Structure 1
Amino acid sequence: MVEAPVTARRIWSLVLPAVGVLAAEPLYVLWDTAVVGRLGAEALAGLAVGALVLNQAGSQFVFLSYGTTGRAARKHGAGDREGVVAEGVQATWIAAVLGVLFAVVGLLVADPLAAALAGSPQIADEAAAWLRVALWGAPLILVQMAGNGWMRGLQDIRRPLWFVVVGFSLSAALTATLTLGLFGAPRMGLVGSAVANLVGQAVSAALFVAALVRERPSWRPQWPVIRAQLALAREFLLRSIAFQACFVSAGAVAARFGAASLAGHQILLSLWTFAALVLDAVAIAAQSLVGSALGAGRADEAKALAWRLTRWSAGLGAGGAVLLICGHSFVPRLFTTDRAVLASLAVPWWLFVGLTVLGGVVFAQDGVLMGSGDVRFLRRVTMAGALCGFLPLVWASLFFGWGLAGVWTGLAVFVALRMLAGLWRVRSGSWAVTGSFGAPRVGDPVT
């Protein structure tokens, strides 16, 4: 059977729901922050400390969504729906085990960890109380990530969108009710936020598990699949560590130039995170479509998709850059009116504008190579870019007094190095190995 070509409508049908899934959590976090903010500064600081700990579950175990998508997409392309569902089952087992371990270890160290991160005993107490409830959501968060992974592989993005929206909507309603004691509910304070978070996560996780159950799969652990997924986990974890080392260093150096520089850095970082969220939706479409084409044995289609999606993503990035250029005089003032903070953005703002274009290319390439299973190459490029570009320039900025401009130059070099390496890799075609399991490694011959 000859497959119909991938149309623009089909691509948008993957991109737009993916934006919704990616945007749901940041929007909920904003709402949660606004509600908790009514309790006072100590409660809000406690939420910040607690969320910093819980967010590690999502950032360190990202392979459950991105790694599973690539493997599932290949099997979808090969017409093996049973294999796709099996990937989802095994990823869900891994998610449950790792999530419980994360929660248990987190509970054991919640008090000393909160004390180490908080600035006062009162904030530490608030954070620890929040964590004792919210940490039980770790396995639920990971199960959702696994569910997103196998369903994206099936190119089914709409159901995950509804699952996530239902969970976060419930959490949002409960946050206001339980935190502030509305409608006759007990006023639980910050702990109410944790309970609301947990209930919403439980509902979303249950919906993802129910989707698996409807497929009538075997729930028996398949150790070869689990080992293959954990091999991807190692690559993603090392890549995540490189990212964290970069951004923690950037924040630390920005702080040493004073409050104005740190505030300016936070503004730019928030905007960059939002831009990355939008561009990541194209990367998700690339994972699904490229993996499916390779699983079906259509390497030429996968290569054509790689360049087509790269152009799309670059175009989105360029459009964002135009908006930032037009809004350079007033967008920063939406965040602050402090003259010192605005002055600190004078040069970094234009670096950020350029980054949106480069980021469009890089995110698409990441999606293509993740969809092909070429994660080892991505890990090596990320670590090399961090060690040769970002980190040296960030710390040189501190030594030579380059300020925030030096910090964001480091980020620009980091992204540029990844872009050049990605363009070379995509152009080489060595990633386009067909089959339901293919996952090329750096230096492997093309077969």
Structure 2
Amino acid sequence: MSTFTTRKALPRRTFLRGLGTTLGLPLLDAMVPAATAATRAAQPAKRLAYIFIPMGCDLSRWTPPGKDTLDELSPILSSLAPVRQHVSVISNLELQPAYPGTHATSNAAFLSAAHAKHTESTDYFLGITADQIAAQQIGRQTQLPSLELAMDLMQTVGQCDNGYACVYQNNLSWSSPTTPLPAEAHPRLVFERLFGEGGSKAERSAALKQRASLLDFVKDDMSRLSRTLGPEDRQRVDHYLESVREVERRIQKAEAGVAENPLPDLDRPVGVPAAYADHARLLFDLQVLAMQGDVTRVSTFQLARETSNRTYPEIGVSDPHHPLSHHGNDPAKIEKFSKINAFHVSLFAEFVAKLAATSEAEGSLLDHTLCLYGSGMGNPNVHDHTNLPVIVAGGAASGMKGGRHLRYDKPVPLANLHLTLLDKAGVKLDRFGDSQGKISGLFDTLSI
């Protein structure tokens, strides 16, 4: 790293480097020219995060009772209470391109608002997804234009659902109609992609044995940088590096736990926490670090695959998720299904709280991030794609109004919301998918 002077601002793309490791830094006062306050306000990057849940939800326990506000939360959304001021729920959005009504098209259309070609073979065809449109513009200046994550370690191949190729269920992100982007579920591999040098599996394994921590390799660079920073910047960097260290510690703990297990475990690679919630939290925290260090500005996260038969014993649900979604109006099954819905929302609420607690410039990381949480299916019992469960969080710097429940009288295309969020992130489009315009009521100022 070159020597820094206090007379000129640090570049926003300042890194700590050492032994094949590159670590981005959060936005610091030293990166903002002192001459103008206006420059300071314009510095934070705009970010987009998309979180997908499969198989819709129990709408009777999801829908907030208030028409305009979130003063009262529904049972499934109760965990949003601590971050209520940062989130809004939107009712009566629809995803017409997902019909004729399948799990495959629910996943495929969620970010593309496009019809999936009905094929079981490799001639699949969809459309570029909203995250990748954003990545082409706001992701061009970052190390990773986008980050694709998922909770499921194994991807199925062949035909998965009603004659649709499994590729439609495996992948949320598509950089072109014929190019799906695989997601990573292994926290250690995500961490190394963000901050490490990568390499083959054997090389990564050898590197893990040789190094105690990523931070150990950048400490010399960190010492030189610290001497040029003011007290507030040093505190910001310290907090960021503490977060990196904590994520490392949790990955190492998970690896040690698996290594000490004498039984063979072919389905869970080393470094993946055994509990679903611990795994999800780790991947959420990696997204926070990636955005805080400006490694990426666009992320997608698939909390489970469509038709997932995952069970959730940690919340007392031992029945597989997919069969519960086809509950046949059985009250006992609906109750268990809604517990899964509430569990997923609670993990998202923690993510929002973490973004809100991470300072950046004059506000928080959340202020400069827009998060879309939702599903491509409404009522999974009948495979419909209307009245989707959707939450939008963050974006105070974009004028987003939190604590709201927007309930439209007539169905509105989900693509309208995609078009609106892209617009607020600085990506200007006339149309996206089956959009009919931008949505109203979510931001202070918005042209319809």
- TM-score of the aligned structures, taking structure 1 as reference length: 0.26
With a CA cutoff of 8 Å and minimum separation of 6, indicate the structure with the bigger relative contact order. 2
Q: Whose helix fraction is larger, Structure 1's or Structure 2's?
A: 1
